[in-house]
Amino acid sequence: MFFTLFESGLSSSLSSLFFLLSSFFFLHSFPSLLVPPSPLIFFSSLFLSYYSSLFFSPLSFFSFLFSSLPSP
């Protein structure tokens, strides 16, 4: 039970870490937003954080589901 809570907390912290990285890239590229590579970096990191949260959330849900099943 504790390990499942740890796994779900780890996955949510990983997705929030990706979101923080994307916001850092956005703030880093904010003074030079007219340059084409900086919005590209921002949007790629944003999509990366979105898909990582999409991947890690069902993973933590299924690990919680399998650990809550009664062991034989």
Structure-model confidence comparison of residues 40 and 4, the more confident one: 40
The crossing angle, in degrees rounded to 10, of helices 2-28 and 37-68 is: 170
Q: Residue 17 and residue 33: Cα distance in Å, rounded?
A: 23
Q: What is the mean pLDDT of the chain?
A: 63
**Domain count for the chain:** 1
In this structure, is residue 20 part of a structural domain?
yes
pLDDT in tens, 42-61: 677 667 767 766 666 666 66
In this structure, is residue 57 part of a structural domain?
yes
In this structure, is residue 71 part of a structural domain?
no
| Span 64-71, average pLDDT | 61
